[in-house]
Structure 1
Amino acid sequence: MKRISRNSFRSRTLGIAGALALCFSATAQADAIDGIIDTWQVDVSTIFDTASICDSTGDCTAPTGVTVIDNQTLRWGSSTGQGVSGLQISNSPASGNVVTNGAAVNNVSITHLNRPITGTTLSSVDILSTLTLTPVSPAGSALPPVTITFGVDYLETDNGATPCADGGINGVGVNVNGCADIYVTDVKSLNFGFTYDFDGAGSLFGDQTYYISFFEATNGLNTLSADACAAVGASYPCLGFETPEGQDTTVNFASLITTEKVVINVPEPSTLALGGLGLVALAGLRRRN
């Protein structure tokens, strides 16, 4: 397949993270008697920003090399007999109840379809994820929806290159069927705080601070090699995944709400593997009934 040269890495706050190791006891479950929301309804709607697509020719105005099936389905390239490559958002919109200080709950997923193709391919695209939080127990008014934009840079590699774009050996490991394609995104932080006062101003309980994290639940996103990062124009370390030729790779996301910041310990240089959807816009939000 055609190798793309990227001169810039456009990546914004995202929602995506690597591995989490969490342990909460049954006694950690929130109690509304203490002014804490026990359960939240978390609604997530994720789409591609189709106006942000750039193809491998550098065309970001009318990128004819990428076919928009709908705002959750992108396809590109000319088939050599096994179909075309693409990206697919699944399980969106997603809605689920998340217990404060409880288990994480799965929501949307993103799948990359890697096929042997020719022609123009995807180079980059932005993803829009809209989050709405609504108290369920005790019931309360929803926080205003927040839309997070994050970018993806993508490299459709030359299958026959030696070495491959990631610096690996062709025919070995992830490059076993030819050089793997590279998907890169950037993450800045694990979680962000927001406040909620379920019994109103001047009442017994004041604002309670919560932290929400969106993370990749199946260890699909990892710190890539310096060569892989450089191939898409990203600084090392960068976060993403590589898809073996002829296969599909899916990353699944989940949400978690806590009353304290989650402390995660992972070996270096995997600091970016902690990243989640950076809910900067939620920081400091207040809602009073």
Structure 2
Amino acid sequence: MASALILGVPAAAAAATVTFTNITGGFFNGVLANPATSPAISYTGVDTNNTGAAWGTPAGFGQSGYKFATAGSISAAVTPPAGVSPTVTLGTFQHVNFPISSGTSITSISLRFNADVDVDGVSQGNRSFLYQFSHDETPNAADPCADGGAQGVGVNINGCADRVSVNFISQSDSFDIGGVAYTLDVVGFVSGGGSPVTNFLTVERLTNEAFIVGRLTQYDIAAGVPEPATWALLIGGFGMVGAAARRRRALVA
């Protein structure tokens, strides 16, 4: 009769359940394209569950800006040392894409995602995970537009769409699972039920909305990068997401 124990073969690691509660967010460290001619960036709801930032000299509609509403709580299972979790929704992102004067946009801004972290019911304390948004404010009248599409068609219906991308910042915190450092990596944007992508095209004169999704992954603290490499490398070939635009108010052309 064969033995149930095979010597030299390590037992499979048990999956751990990681829970994030008391989640808040806050935009910070916005970088203006031209600080000398731009109004200051205004930040609202910093370290709350509904945070925002606004910038630019309005050109008929109002300032442009970002908004982020956090998820109520997040739970995901992962198996150390090399496992990664399924994607989880971090919250809802909006780009209020109103026309602004040339040179008064941002080029980037960061988001601090704070949460109390529990691993299998054991508190790891409060942790902060940092993500950077790169912002490409495109010339509205270009033809073709920066995305290669024609003016007045699709996402460029009201002028050339802007492009927003998101990436993990190495100064993010980590937490321990079975002696292995893990972090909450950012994967990208999900809109309309599609696959996650790192670039989000947003329609002019509309509020564009998408979910931001992340995953638990092993974290190389010394190198400051998640392992394996962030989804920016894994899903870059998926292409750019179509804008999930919805009107917040009636807009007059």
1:41 equivalenced with 2:13 (yes/no)? no
1:183 equivalenced with 2:150 (yes/no)? no
Question: 1:244 aligns to what?
Answer: 203
Alpha carbon RMSD of aligned pairs, Å? 4.2
**Higher strand fraction (1 or 2):** 2
State the alpha-carbon separation in 2 of the partners of residues 157 and 47 from structure 1. Answer: 25
Assess, with a 3 A threshold, how the Cα gap between structure 1 residues 217 and 196 changes in structure 2: closer, same or farther: same
1:110 equivalenced with 2:82 (yes/no)? no
User: Percent of counterpart pairs with the same letter?
Assistant: 21
CA contact (8 A) 2:18 2:76 kept: yes
CA contact (8 A) 2:155 2:201 kept: yes
State the alpha-carbon separation in 2 of the partners of residues 116 and 37 from structure 1. Answer: 48
CA contact (8 A) 2:124 2:175 kept: no
Question: 1:124 aligns to what?
Answer: 108
Question: 1:15 aligns to what?
Answer: none
CA contact (8 A) 2:109 2:132 kept: yes
CA contact (8 A) 2:188 2:214 kept: no
The alpha-carbon deviation at position 159 of structure 1 amounts to 1.3
Question: 1:162 aligns to what?
Answer: 143
Question: 1:277 aligns to what?
Answer: none
CA contact (8 A) 1:188 1:272 kept: no
Find 2:43's aligned residue among 68, 75, 97. Answer: 68
Q: What SS does the corresponding residue of 2:73 show, helix, strand or coil?
A: strand
**Higher helix fraction (1 or 2):** 1
Letter in 1 for 2:154: G
Q: What SS does the corresponding residue of 1:270 show, helix, strand or coil?
A: helix
Letter in 2 for 1:54: V
State the alpha-carbon separation in 1 of the partners of residues 130 and 187 from structure 2. Answer: 15
Assess, with a 3 A threshold, how the Cα gap between structure 1 residues 220 and 121 changes in structure 2: closer, same or farther: farther
CA contact (8 A) 2:91 2:212 kept: yes
Letter in 2 for 1:88: K
1:253 equivalenced with 2:212 (yes/no)? yes
> Does 1 or 2 have the higher relative contact order (CA < 8 Å, sep 6+)?
1
CA contact (8 A) 1:46 1:108 kept: no
CA contact (8 A) 2:16 2:177 kept: no
Question: 1:89 aligns to what?
Answer: 68
Assess, with a 3 A threshold, how the Cα gap between structure 1 residues 208 and 178 changes in structure 2: closer, same or farther: closer
Normalising by the residue count of structure 1, what TM-score does the alignment of the two structures yield?
A: 0.54
Assess, with a 3 A threshold, how the Cα gap between structure 1 residues 53 and 107 changes in structure 2: closer, same or farther: closer
Please, which runs of 5 or more residues in structure 2 have no aligned partner? 1-11, 80-84, 219-226, 241-253
Report how many aligned residue pairs link the two structures.
204
Find 1:56's aligned residue among 33, 36, 47. Answer: 33
Q: Deviations over 1:178-200 (max 9, x none)?
A: 111121334599xxx96434xxx
Question: 1:215 aligns to what?
Answer: 187
State the alpha-carbon separation in 2 of the partners of residues 81 and 112 from structure 1. Answer: 17
State the alpha-carbon separation in 1 of the partners of residues 185 and 52 from structure 2. Answer: 25
